[in-house]
Every structure is written in C-alpha cells, then in structure tokens.
Amino acid sequence: MKVTIIGAGNIGGAIAKGLIKSQKVNASDITCTALTQETLDKLKVANAEINTTLNNVEAVKEADIIMIAVKPWHVEKVIDQIRDAVNYEKQIIVSIVAGVTFELFNAYLTKDTDTHSDHVAPTIFRVIPNTAIEVLSSMTFVSAYNASQEQKDLILSIFNALGCSMLIEERLMPAGTALASSGIAYALRYIRASIEGGVELGFYPKQAQEIVVHTVKGAVDLLLANLSSPEVEIDRVTTPGGITIRGLNEMEVSGFTSSVIRGLKTGK
C-alpha cells in the first residue's frame, strides 16, 4: 500500500511518522509533499526512507491513498494541481482538512468533467484526528463518501493503528472536533489546573505534574479496562462524608460540569 501525504506539516508529518511507527506502512511506501524544502528535510531526519518532493502531481501518480492535509484555503489550489493525475477508480482520497465538506471537496474534484469523461465519482474520506496522533493515541473521526465497506475498513484500520478511530456521519464532524480535537486542550487545561492546585497543596511543580498525569492516565485506564462509566468509578472512591465527595461538590458549586459542557458547545 502506497500513501501520499500532501501537506506534511504538523498533522501530516505526524501521520507519516505514526504510520511508520505502527508498522502499518513502510517508510519507503510513503511520499510526502510540503510548501518548503525545510519541512521535508525535517521528515528526512526523522526517517531517511520517506520519499519527499515539492511536486504534488508527481507525488500522487503511484499512490493508493492520497491524504490532503493542507490549510482549508489551499485545498482548491492543490486539487486543481492534482485533478488530472488522480484515478478515481483506483485511488482513495482522504481529506484531513477541517471545515471542508464532502459537497465542496467533490465540487473541486469534478470541476472539469472532461478530465474524467466516464464520470466516475471519487471516493473521499474526511478524517479529523487530534494531536495525540504523533504518539499513536489519537481519537480520530472518519466520514465516508462513495466508499465501499472494504474501503471504509481499510481507512479505519489505518487510523486505528494511530490510536482509535470512529466512523460517523459527516454532520457530526463539528461535534467530534469539539469533543476530541479541541477536547484534548480541555483535558490538558484540567491537568494544568490540577498541577497548580498541587503546588498550592505543597508539592514542587514537577512532582505535582507527575502525580496529576499518572492520576489522569489511571482514570482513563480504569474506564478502558473495566468498560465502565465515570460515575461507577467515581462511586468507588467517594465515601460518605469523605474528602472526595466534598471536593467534587465544591467543584460543582463553581460550575465545573456546566463549564465543560458550555465550552464544548461553543467549540461546535
């Protein structure tokens, strides 16, 4: 399987490195493009076997999967460059571009119908990962357009190798972005607040960070291992009259849960 990533910046580059680290794709089967040679040189330092080029057209010719990970305002220009070189019957296009719908993406791809006179509809996936993809722990959302079940399974397997992926309807993409992509920042903000609280309680900053990070990891591991709900695990550590329930109630007085929900809905 040959993969081309157009726009190998932060997310595109992280996907390339993650695919190699997960052994899902060989480095020699990955081709990356970027706007600058400097970006490509950094990828080569990470793995010399990655193919790099500044030429998007050359990059897509032999690919089985073409991932487009550019800024939204560059999408139309990139597709104008590669449209004539893409084989809709054989190649899968994966958009890792926030906010560009299937309708708009398809309009860009089929703008010049003479190029694809047989009018074969492209297979397109929209994929929204988060920054934890670089450590193979992304929560990635996937939506499909004109895709077979086999193609859906393939794309899901790729992003499952980079963490966890979920196939959703396109209409849920903004909500998924708020919950997982922006959500990783919300989780980190809780961690930062807890570290500051730990310092106030008497720990040195590095000690507080170690304690909080491992505590959060433990909470996540409990949910994953037990397949339980947060409330079940909370009930296990809240005793009548204890400090845990007092702490939780004080946080709720300050609007903890409602603040989180309002933040998520603002992001959507």
pLDDT at 118: 58
Strands 123-128 and 138-145: antiparallel
Domain count, the chain: 2
Do 28 and 142 share a structural domain? Answer: yes
pLDDT at 267: 65
The last residue of one of the domains, among 126, 142, 169, is 169
Do 107 and 228 share a structural domain? Answer: no
pLDDT at 242: 92
Do 111 and 34 share a structural domain? Answer: yes
The residue written with tokens 């209409």 in the block is 171
Do 160 and 189 share a structural domain? Answer: no
Contacts of range 192-197, beta carbons closer than 8 Å, 24 or more positions apart: none
pLDDT at 117: 47
Q: What is the pLDDT along the chain (268 residues), one digit of tens a residue?
A: 999 999 998 899 999 999 998 888 999 999 999 999 999 999 899 889 999 999 999 999 999 999 999 999 999 999 999 999 999 999 999 999 988 999 999 899 887 655 554 567 899 999 999 989 888 999 999 999 999 999 999 999 999 999 999 999 999 999 999 999 889 999 999 999 999 999 999 999 999 999 999 999 999 999 999 999 999 999 999 999 999 999 999 999 999 999 999 998 886 6
Do 72 and 20 share a structural domain? Answer: yes
pLDDT at 114: 55
pLDDT at 46: 87
Residue 148 DSSP symbol: -
pTM comes to: 0.88
pLDDT at 220: 95
Do 162 and 192 share a structural domain? Answer: no
Rounded (to 5) percent helix, strand, coil in the chain: 60, 15, 25
Which residue type is seen at 93? I
Cα(159)–Cα(96) distance, integer angstroms: 12
Domain containing residue 241: 183-267
Distinct helix (H) and strand (E) counts, the chain: 12, 8
The last residue of one of the domains, among 140, 169, 198, is 169
71 to each of 12, 109, 120, 162, 240, how far by Cα in Å? 11, 17, 27, 22, 52
